[in-house]
Amino acid sequence: SQTIHQWPATLVQPVGSPLSLECTVEGTSNPNLYWYRQAAGRGLQLLFYSVGIGQISSEVPQNLSASRPQDRQFILSSKKLLLSDSGFYLCAWGGQGNSPLHFGNGTRLTVT
């Protein structure tokens, strides 16, 4: 069966520090991969998605970037964090057609 791993679970970082969140998927090949952010009291905002290795699409301009160095690995990064980057970050994978998205357990990021 397929599983998705996301780490760390929680992270507290000072403003201006770098960020790297990692997500890996097991049990499937060539998945679509996604990064969503959930800010306090708000819904889910799609940040990035990827349909293949090295293929990244950005949904909103921001302080973050994403990379997909391997088929089942998706990384969210920032060179310098802002206070507004605080939130709950969710990685997800999906198949083709009408398959739903499957989410990791999320990373709660607090920028201080």
Q: Are strands 107-111 and 10-13 parallel, antiparallel or unpaired?
A: parallel
Is-cis flag, bond preceding 69, omega within 30?
Answer: no
Choose between 19 and 33: whose C-beta lies nearer to other proteins: 33
CB of 62 to other proteins, least distance (A): 17
**Non-local CB neighbours of 51 within 8 Å, separated by 6+ positions:** 32, 57
Choose between 16 and 52: whose C-beta lies nearer to other proteins: 52
Under 8 Å between Cβ of 4 and 24: yes
CB of 106 to other proteins, least distance (A): 5
CB of 60 to other proteins, least distance (A): 13
Choose between 81 and 106: whose C-beta lies nearer to other proteins: 106
Cα(108)–Cα(73) distance, integer angstroms: 19
Under 8 Å between Cβ of 5 and 107: no
Strand partners, 25: 4
CB of 16 to other proteins, least distance (A): 26
Q: Note the residues at the interface with other proteins (CB under 8 A).
A: 6, 32, 34, 42-44, 46, 49-51, 57, 59, 88, 90, 92, 94-106, 108
Choose between 55 and 112: whose C-beta lies nearer to other proteins: 55
